[in-house]
Structure 1
Amino acid sequence: MGSLLSYSGLSTKIRAMQRRLIDIPQFQEISQMTSVPQVVAYLKKQPGFEKLWADLDENTLHRGEIEHLLTHTIYQNFTRIYHFSNPKQRTFLALYFKRYEISIMKDCLRKIFDHREATLDLSIFKEFFDRHSQLNISKLTASGTIEEFINNLKDTEYYAPLSRILNSPKEQPLLFDYGMALDQYYFAQIWKVKDKLFKSVDLKEMTQAYGRKFDMLNLSWIYRSKKYYQMSHAEIYALLIPVRFKLHKEEITALVEANDMDEFGKLLAQTYYGRTLDDMTPENLENEYNYVLRSILEVEARRNPHSVAIIYSYLYHKEHEVDRLTTAVECVRYGVPPQETMEHIMKN
């Protein structure tokens, strides 16, 4: 009864927000459009965007601004859920929010590694991050070197993992190294604190969702590292999230040290995911990762609508809506045929 009472109002709110997400028929309409302003004008009339974008002039927006505006709708909806949540629900949202901090930091890191002279303009997100985060967006976006960037994180939890990369024996760490350090830190933190933050149904759902997510990410990283980058065993082990859910240590070792892709495929087929997923092949790992996470969240949100699953499921689908819209805008911009545009959209 306590869970029902604590989640009933929030569940109603989120279900209303879910109905405003762009669906497949609407994406098909967008794929037929011939200009980016036409796409923006269309979105301005949709329930999920009309209040947020009412004052925009679609004819003056450039590509970067549209991408930021789309991302901003995620943050705006996150804030709506946060304001409607009780302290227990905000515990999950605070943990989830770290993925947005990491996304912002990766944008800043890309600017530094690309040697872009212009300051990265993320000012549209400043109010949101000032409210929810310790990150100083202004300082981070103005950072010109990796040393300056990390120094500007000194009073945050991200300083230590990034400092270790900066000061590691490896000569000139790459953008990839810093991005992986952030991801690994975030994932390890989730697994470390979940038992303290969640109880009962919420704990079970978080364990299922994140456990399978981390397993699938590790499988994908092992595959890509061997297939495309010919990385050493030690380098692959260093990439992996230090969490095992349905994968055994011996299976991970065998996959990392497989002699070739044929052996990797045979070993993958013997894992829990290879036995339970019909289309589980090395080449289809990314699609299966998306399928596994989406399926878990949708099933749990239906089975337990008065639980943390309803929050996680909505945010997952909202982020994928934005990914698909970003893809759609790019396809329309370059005149990609509608059928091909839909193929790109459906891959997200």
Structure 2
Amino acid sequence: MGSVLSYSGVSTKIRAMSSHLVTDEQLQEIVRFSDVPQVAAYLKKTPEYAKAWSDLDENNLHRGEIEKLLKKSIFGNFSRIYNFANKEQRKFLALYSKRYEIRVLKEILTNLFDHRSTNPVDMSPYRDFFLHHSKLDLDRLVSAGNMDEFMTALKGNEFYAPLLSVYENGNGLLFDYGMALDLYYFNQIWSVRKKLFKGNDLDEITKAYGEKFDMLNLQFILRSKRYYKMEPAAIYAQLIPVNYKLKKEEITAMVEATSREEGEQIFNRTWYGRKYQQMNLISMEELYNNMLRTVLEKEARKDPYSVAVLYSYLYHKEHEVNRLTIALECVRYQVDPDEAMRYVHNN
């Protein structure tokens, strides 16, 4: 009963917000438009974007500006939920919001590695959110012209330590910095979940993140062996040190497998291989997002008065923006609508 009372308000809020998300049918309409202004005009009439975009002239919006507005909607919706949430729910939201900070740090790092410091990352989609939910000094970070200045600007923040070893190595690639941030975030989630949550909320968080981490490890093993021919030691160094349904010995066996066929046989004997018999290591990248959505939807429906409903909505909102961004690109380059929907569905 306590969980129902605790979540009844925010669950009602999220149900209303979820009903405004762009549907698959609407995406099918969007990819059939002939130009980007038509997409903007269409989105202005949807419940999700009508109010925020009402004063905008769609004829003056180019693709980049629309993408910024879409990104901004993620952070705006997060803040709406945060302001509505109670103290316990805000613990999860504060933890979840770190993924947004990492997202921005990766954008700034990409800018630095591409030597685009003269054209800094546009912080307009993020500024309001970071003003209330982050301790990062965005202005100093964005103005950094090299990695020395970036690390100096980051000093004192929690993300400094996980990046320091890569920085001190001197030869770190953009991939290495991104992986260090991801591993820090994933480790933090797993290590603090039992302190932040209890009872059903703890079960929901453990299941949602546990399966996600297992799947990310499986996906990384696939990519590293198939595309990059990485040695086992290098693969182990990049894996998330979390085991949920995927056993340590199964990970070891797949990493050490000498052929794709051997790896698939090992995978088929795992919990995931038995549960998702239609999936193999080759198709995993395409199925991963669909599986995660399914898990979150199932958990949110099963217990709408738990932290799962928060996680599910935030995931689906980000997913909506990713799909709309792909649809915009397809309209811009006049991709055949059926082919465009295949790109959209693979995201």
1:48 aligns with 2:69: no
1:145 aligns with 2:143: no
Residue 344 of structure 1 aligns with which residue? 343
Aligned to 1:185: 184
- The one-letter code matched in structure 1 to 2:66 is I
**Structure 1 position 292, deviation (Å):** 2.6
**CA deviation vs aligned residue, 1:59-93 (integer Å, no higher than 9, x gap):** 22233222111111110100000000000000000
User: What secondary structure does 2:52 align onto?
Assistant: coil
Identity score, percent: 57
Name stretches of at least 5 consecutive residues in structure 2 with no aligned partner: none
| Alpha carbons 2:36, 2:62 under 8 Å: kept | no
What is the CA–CA distance in structure 2 between the aligned matches of 1:155 and 1:189, rounded to whole Å?
Answer: 18
Q: Which residue of 2 aligns with 1:195?
A: 194
* Structure 1 residues 323-342: aligned runs within 5 Å: 323-342=322-341
Q: Which residue of structure 2 lines up, in the alignment, with residue 132 of structure 1?
A: 133
- Separation in 2 of the partners of 1:227 and 1:125? 36
Q: 1:88-124: CA deviations, max 9, x gaps?
A: 0000000000000000000001100111121221133
**How many Å apart are 1:228 and its aligned residue?**
0.4
Paired residues of 1:130 and 1:136 also in contact (CA < 8 A): no
Verify: 1:241 aligned to 2:268, yes or no.
Answer: no
CA shift at 1:137, angstroms?
1.4
User: CA–CA distance in 2 between the matches of 1:276 and 1:287?
Assistant: 17
1:225 Cα deviation from its structure 2 partner: 0.3
CA deviations on 1:273-306 (whole Å, 9 max, x unpaired) are: 0111022111111233223321221111111111
Does residue 310 of structure 1 match 2:313?
Answer: no
Does the CA contact (< 8 Å) of 1:255 and 1:268 recur in 2? yes
CA distance in 2, matches of 1:255, 1:212: 17
Give the corresponding residue for 1:264: 263
In structure 2, the residue matched to 1:61 is: 61
Structure 1 residue matching 2:56: 3-state secondary structure: coil
**Whole-angstrom distance in 1 between the partners of 2:119 and 2:283:** 39
Partner of 2:273: 274
CA contact (8 A) 2:3 2:305 kept: yes
Q: Output the amino acid matched with 1:345.
A: V
User: Are 1:33 and 2:33 matched, yes or no?
Assistant: yes
Q: Distance in 2 between matches of 1:192 and 1:275?
A: 28
Tell whether the 8 Å contact from 2:37 to 2:62 is kept in structure 1 after alignment: no
2:287 aligned partner, one-letter code: E
Letter in 2 for 1:166: Y
Which residue in the other structure is 1:174 paired with?
173
Equivalent residue, structure 1, for 2:158: 157
* Distance in 1 between residues matched to 2:183 and 2:125, nearest whole Å: 28
Structure 1: how far apart are the matches of 2:284 and 2:147? 33
Q: Would the aligned equivalents of 1:119 and 1:141 in 2 still touch at CA under 8 Å?
A: yes
Which residue in the other structure is 2:95 paired with?
A: 95
Q: Helix, strand or coil for the counterpart of 2:15?
A: helix
Tell me how far 1:209 sits from its aligned partner. Answer: 0.5
Q: Distance in 1 between matches of 2:57 and 2:150?
A: 34
How far apart in 2 are the matches of 1:335 and 1:255?
41
1:52 counterpart SS class = helix
Amino acid of the structure 1 residue aligned with 2:146: T
Deviations 1:184-203 (A, max 9, x none): 00000000000000000000
**Aligned residue pair count:** 346
Q: Distance in 2 between matches of 1:56 and 1:141?
A: 27
* Correspondence for 2:229: 230
Instruction: Name the CA distance, whole Å, in 2 between partners of 1:56 and 1:135.
Output: 30
CA contact (8 A) 1:279 1:288 kept: no
Name the TM-score, length of structure 2 as normaliser: 0.98
- Residue deviations 1:213-238, cap 9 Å, x none? 00000000011000000111111001
Q: Which residue of 2 aligns with 1:3?
A: 3
The residue number in structure 2 matching 1:217 is 216
Q: Distance in 2 between matches of 1:196 and 1:288?
A: 32
State the alpha-carbon separation in 1 of the partners of residues 49 and 14 from structure 2: 16
Residue 262 of structure 1 deviates from its aligned partner by 1.4
CA distance in 1, matches of 2:194, 2:133: 23
- In structure 2, what residue type is equivalent to 1:102? I
Unaligned residue ranges in structure 1 (runs of 5+): none
Cα RMSD for the two superposed structures: 1.0
Conserved in 2, the CA contact under 8 Å of 1:28 and 1:338? Answer: yes
Distance (whole Å) between structure 2 residues aligned to residue 343 and residue 292 of structure 1: 17
Task: Give the corresponding residue for 2:77.
Answer: 77
| Correspondence 1:121 to 2:94 | no
Residue aligned with 1:282, SS: coil
Separation in structure 1 between the aligned mates of residue 249 and residue 148 of structure 2, nearest angstrom: 39
The answer to whether the Cα contact below 8 Å between 1:202 and 1:309 also exists between their aligned partners in 2 is yes
